[in-house]
Amino acid sequence: VIFRPMTFRRKLLAMFALMVLVSVTAVAWIIASLTRRTFDQADEARTAASVAQFHREFNRRGNEVVNRVETIAASEGTTRMALAVSRGSLDYGPFLNEAHAVAESQQLDLLEFVDSQNTIISSAQEPAKFGYKDAHFSPSEVSKDAFLKQEDLPDGAALGLFAVREISLGEKPLFLIGGSRIDKNFLSSLELPDGMRAMFYENLGTGFSAQFLIAASGPAQQADRVAPIVQQIQQQRRESTTLVHWSSDAVDDETITAIPLSGSDNQLLGVLLIASSRRPYIELRQHIRSTALLAATAGILLAILLSGWAAARVTRPIEELAQAAREVAAGNWNTQVPVSSRDEMGELAESFNHMTRELLAQKKYLVQAERVAAWRELARRLAHELKNPLFPLQLTVENLLRARQQSPGQFEEIFQESASTLLAEISNLKTIISRFSEFSRMPEPHLQQIQLNDLAQNVARLFQGQLQAPLHVPIECKLELAESMQPIAADPELLHRALSNLVLNAIDAMPQGGTLTLRTRQADDLSYIEVSDTGTGLTPEECDRLFTPYYTSKPHGTGLGLAMVQSVISDHGGRVSVQSEPGRGATFMIELPRNFSKLRRDVLSGNATSATARNT
Amino acid sequence: MKLTGFPLLVASSLLLTTVASAAMRPHYGGTLHVAMQVAPQSLDPADITRSDWIESRNLLRLMFDTLVSLDEQGKLEPALAISWQSESGNQRWQFFLRRGVTFQDGSPVTTDAVAASLRKTNPTWKVFSEGEAVVIERDSPTPNLSSELALPRNSIAKREGGKITGTGPFTIAQWDAGKKLILTARDDYWGGRAFLDTIEIELGKSLREQTISFGLGKTQVIEVAPEQAHRAATEAVRVESSAPVELIALVFGPDSKSAEYAKQRQVLALSIDRDLLNTVVLQGGGEPAGGLLPNWMTGYEFVFPTALNLAQAREVRSEIPHTTSWTLGYDLADPTARVIAERISLNARDAGLGLQITSSSTADLKLVRLSLVSSNPEIALSELATALGLPQPKFSSGSIDDLYTAENNLLQSQLVIPLLHMPTAWALSTTVNNWKTNRDGSWPLPRVWLAAEKP
């Protein structure tokens, strides 16, 4: 994995996106929290209103039952029954269906006529129960208001809202117990707000039994989920609110408020369960989440746009500066950056431009100074080089003149010697001049595919004979050639001359003998060839000036050899360097690129030139 | 003043007497409107069902005759057959037909026609004509065969091309299955023409619809539930009742009639307060039943106990270590049956038994209501045993002791608990005359005549 450092633009983008994300998340969280709190408050209020409405409905139904029971108590049929009871000669037969008929006419679910002994005379809910005692009624507990009471029916016990009236026409009173059953019809009569529903648990046994839980639509579904709430009420007898999960989907959740309902003897007879759906809240929460997600997405997109714009405004000058700096580093010292603002970035750009201008001026000055120094050096070198042959020439000519004047007899002999000396010195002068001429006329490299190992071997072979001469100092020549050298595109003749120069220098550096090593190696796309000696070595100052033209540390050197080497290597796009310490020899290292792209261009241009020539 | 007033008074008295006697004298003509709950889909005697037995029987008797008939005492009377005799130890019977009798389509009643009709109703019998007699041969001695032939299902009918005709006093004028039946009197009926010209019978009418129709004067004869008979009578409605001809009883199902539950069944039988059921639930319209057959039919039913004996019930209950809670089924369409079932459930609870009423058809025991199909006690008992799923009683001598033994054996099996005997009752309009209900609940329609409506 290649790790690439984030650009300033990407950092800016990430920062913007993070800020938007954090902001939207924070806002969404705040809104969701506020919504939940508001919903909970509204839910509490709705539940309270529903409970209040239940109590109102409970009371209203109670009053209704009271009114109906009073109406029955005042009826002729009841009076007739009361008279029969007071006479004590009661025949149940005529009254068998009395309670049922009256209950139907008064729309009461439950109605019983009971005498003072608690004996049922007529029962609407269980006509066959005549003559039996009403186990859940005591004449001593007659109340003016309606109350909750358990009633045994043939198909099981039930709860009802009852009212009792006493009709006394003699010594033996008649009691009228009428009621409205609390069942699904009662629940469906409750007008609850949307999203709320009521359930009722008839506490007719011990513990929880699903069959006693009813809803407005009939038997309640998944009654076991409500069991813990009912059991809690059975134990604690106080109102409680619980969140019930009906399914894995949160929208089905309901908050259930359970209210205990007791009878006249404070016995827990029923539990009213007001369920409030969490669906509106869950849907609102989901809506907030989706909106927040949408806003975050839009925000991030906006951040991208903003960062792009900001980059154009902020990072572009920096990028231009960076690019300009790279160009300066590459040697283009006259690089300038546009100054587009007057802020800190503008000042920075202005300073950069000032810096490059100063650098350029310094460079010109240095070049000029160096050029002057070079001319001076050239002049000195030329003077020095030319002075050496000229002095013998002068002495020879003066000797000839003196010999002609003082020893004419020997003049011929002296003339012959002097003429040969003059010719030799003139030859030296010509040699000196041809060297300078050669350096000034350094040719362009003609590239072709070569192997550095072949080049090294050729050079070594060239100097092998010289080194093995009997009178020559003992110098061992070693070849350390890498096996996996890649071919490169180079001018073999120029490289041969450059490498030969280095070998000559190495030989010159070992007057007492030593070891000369030619070494090649490959590193990525770069090929290396090194020339090492075990000679006297170079000082750091010598190393710094070594490739300066006309600089030489040798008594008879022209100072053009290494300059020529550097020129050749530079023309091949490579570099030459030296590593040396005094007394420990020196190593010259040539680094060459493969140059195949140049080779192709040269081939194409060569072909084009050939074609042009043919056409011409 | 006195001389002139007396002849006028005498004259006016004579005129009133003449008018009154004319109004009270039977006369022919008129249409009797009757309403009934039953809604038969067929008028074929072979299709008569046990559940609507009394009503269907009364309908069939208007259109069909049997070879013999039973009077109120259960004694045989000649009908289409004027004489009969048995041979071979009551295995072969010969019936000699009344001459000159015709079907309603005018064709004569022949021995072949009678034999064909009986074979249709009784495929297992061997019935054929022999000379002027119809011969019936059975595989075993059948001393009560002649009484059995008095059952409505053995009415003589002629079935041709999907049409059915009989020899009864009325002929079918209109038949709308399950809804309406209009009958017209036959002038050539062998027993004499009925006084009524026409009888229009509305079928499938509930008791409430009948009451409304009766109150509006549209119907002259309606059915009255026994428990309503007393109340109707107190409201000055003319009610005619039969003797008890229906039995209300508890019948045990396959799971509850095993021997291990014998004591539990005994506890239940002892715990039921039949008197209160009769006096309160039936408003005194029935009779507590200790036996299967009513006392008017056998004369000995009183020997079977009917009184509540809760103490003994509890005592027997205490001898049972574990009781099974039973379910009691009843007819959902009968509101009285529900009250009776609930009361029995309460009574059972008093004795320490669990008895839950249910409308399920798979109850442990059922509250049933059965008609006594014949005034002949042996026939009635046999038919009851069949209907209740009890073993068939065996009669050897035909004596009353024999009958008692047979019935007592059925009761001792404790597979049935008789509860109540119930009559059938009808409310009659004041224009209906000479209605004298037979004890077996059969209609006396051929004798009935209609008085003219008061202006």
Locate tokens 């012959």: which residue? A416
The residue-averaged pLDDT of A544-559 equals 71
Taking the CA of residue A100 and the nearest CA in chain B, the distance in Å comes to 12
Q: Note whether A102 and A113 are within 8 A (CB).
A: no
Cα B339–Cα B343–Cα B345 angle in degrees, nearest 5: 115
Nearest to B276 among A126, A127, A131 (CB): A131
Q: Which residues of A fall within a CB distance of 8 Å from B345? A: 128, 154
Instruction: Say what the pLDDT of residue B6 is.
Output: 41
Residue A241 β-bridge partners: A257
Strand ranges inside A86-208, DSSP E:
110-115, 120-123, 147-153, 156-167, 174-181, 196-202
- Interface residue B311 vs chain A (CB under 8 A): no
Q: Which of A92, A94, A128 sits opposite B342 (nearest CB)?
A: A128
Best probe of the B interface among A104, A130, A153, by most B CBs < 10 A, is: A130
DSSP state of A263: -
In the block, residue with structure tokens 């929290």? A33
* Nearest by CB: B284 against A93, A128, A129: A93
When pLDDT is averaged across residues A582-586 and rounded to a whole number, the result is 87
Residues in chain A within 8 Å Cβ distance of B330: none
| Count of H-run helices and E-run strands, chain A | 14, 18
Distance of alpha carbon A525 from its chain centroid, rounded?
36
How much is the average pLDDT of A495-510?
88
- Whether residue B279 and residue A154 make contact (CB cut-off 8 A), yes or no, is no
B54: contact with A, CB 8 A cutoff: no
Q: Is the Cβ–Cβ distance between B178 and B39 less than 8 Å?
A: yes
Put simply, whether B358 touches A (Cβ < 8 Å) is no
pTM equals 0.62
Q: Model confidence over A108-126: pLDDT tens digits?
A: 999 999 988 889 999 998 8
- E strand or H helix at A489: strand A488-490
Residues of B in contact with A91 (CB under 8 A): 279-280
For B312, other C-beta atoms within 10 Å of its C-beta total 14
Cβ pair B279:A128 closer than 8 A? no
Using CB atoms and an 8 Å cut-off, which of residues 246-285 of chain B contact chain A? 276, 279-281, 283-284
Interface test with A, best of B346, B350, B360, B420 (most A CBs within 10 A): B346
CA distance A18 to A10: 12
pLDDT greater than 80 at residue A598: no
Cβ-defined contact of B342 to A94 (cutoff 8 Å): no
Instruction: Please report, rounded to a whole number, the percentage of residues in chain A having pLDDT higher than 70.
Output: 94
Confidence class for position A616, pLDDT limits 50, 70, 90: very low
| Any A CB within 8 A of B339 CB | yes
Residue carrying the six token digits 């609870």: B349
The rounded distance, in Å, linking the Cα atoms of A512 and A473 is 6
CB atoms within 10 A of CB B233: 15
* Cα distance between residue B84 and residue B95, in whole Å: 4
**pLDDT tens string A240-284:** 888 888 888 888 888 888 988 888 777 888 888 888 888 887 888
CA distance to B53, B285, B286, B298, B382, per residue, from B242 (Å): 14, 11, 11, 16, 21
- The interface pTM score, or ipTM, of the predicted complex is 0.77
| Whole-number pLDDT of residue B15 | 47
Å between A125 CA and nearest CA of chain B: 11
Choice among A20-34, A299-313, B112-126 with the minimum mean pLDDT: A299-313
B357 touches chain A (CB under 8 A): yes
Residue with tokens 């005994």: B266
Nearest CA to CA, how far is B331 from chain A (Å)? 16
Contact criterion met (CB below 8 Å) for A419 and A456: no
The pLDDT of residue A167 is above 80: yes
Region of residue A114 (phi > 0: left; psi between -120 and 50: alpha; otherwise: beta) = beta
Residue A431 pLDDT exceeds 60: yes
pLDDT value for B288: 95
- The shortest CB-CB distance from B342 to any of A92, A126, A131 is to A126
Instruction: Tell me the chain A residues in contact with residue B280 when contact means C-beta distances shorter than 8 Å.
Output: 91-93, 96, 130-131
Alpha helical stretches, state H, A74-163? 76-87, 98-105
Nearest Cα to Cα of residue B73 among B448, B364, B375, B320: B375
Tokens of A397: 């000519």
Q: Is B343 on the interface with A (CB under 8 A)?
A: yes
Beta-strand pair A488-490/A475-480: unpaired
Nearest of A486, A493, A487 to residue A446 by alpha carbon: A493
- Would you call B340 and A128 a contact, using CB atoms and an 8 Å cutoff? yes
What is the interface size between A and B, counted as CB pairs within 8 Å?
35
Query: Is the C-alpha dihedral spanning A609, A612, A613, A614 positive or negative?
Result: positive
Q: Are B437 and B72 in contact (CB under 8 A)?
A: no
B178 contact A CB<8A:
no
**B235 and chain A in contact, CB less than 8 A:** no
Sequential pLDDT tens for chain B (455 residues)? 333 444 444 444 444 444 445 556 788 989 999 999 999 888 999 887 766 778 888 999 999 999 999 887 778 999 999 999 998 788 999 999 999 999 999 999 999 999 999 999 999 999 999 988 999 999 888 888 999 999 988 999 999 888 899 999 999 999 999 999 999 999 999 989 999 999 999 999 999 999 999 999 999 999 998 888 888 878 888 999 999 999 999 998 877 777 778 889 999 999 999 999 999 999 888 999 999 999 999 999 999 999 999 999 999 999 988 888 899 999 888 888 999 999 999 999 999 999 988 888 888 999 999 988 888 899 999 989 998 888 889 887 778 899 999 999 999 888 899 999 999 999 999 999 988 888 888 888 888 999 876 54
Residues in chain A with CB shorter than 8 Å from the CB of B342 are: 126-129, 154
Please name the residue of chain A whose CA is at the shortest distance from the CA of residue B343: A128
Find out whether A190 and A259 touch, Cβ atoms under 8 Å. Answer: no
The CA-atom distances, in angstroms, between A183 and each of A200, A219, A502, A508 are: 8, 10, 116, 123
Q: pLDDT at position A607, please?
A: 52
Query: Could you tell me if B39 lies within 8 Å of chain A, comparing CB atoms?
Result: no
Q: Which residues of A touch B283 (CB under 8 A)?
A: 93-94, 96
CB contact under 8 A, B280 and A92: yes
Burial of A27 (0-12, 13-18, 19+ CB in 10 A): middle
**Residues pairing with B163 in the sheet:** B160
Mean pLDDT of A192-214: 83
Q: Which residues contact A389 (CB under 8 A, 6 or more apart)?
A: A425, A426, A428, A429, A432
- Burial class, A217, CB count within 10 angstroms (exposed 0-12 / middle 13-18 / buried 19+): exposed
Cβ <8 Å between A128 and B276:
no
Task: Say how far residue B363 (Cα) sits from the centre of its chain.
Answer: 27
* Whole-number Å distance between alpha carbons of A441 and A434: 10
Contact (CB, 8 A) for B254 and B442: no
Using 50, 70 and 90 to split pLDDT, how confident is the model at A4? low
Q: What contacts B223, CB < 8 A, 6 or more positions away?
A: B35, B36, B37, B55, B207, B210, B424, B425, B426, B427
- Compute the nearest-CA separation of B436 from chain A (Å): 28
Residue type at A570 in one-letter notation: S
Report chain B residues whose CB lies below 8 A from the CB of A129.
342, 346
What whole-number distance in Å separates Cα of residue A106 and Cα of residue A89? 28
Mark yes or no for CB contact B279/A129 under 8 Å: no
Residues of A in contact with B357 (CB under 8 A): 154
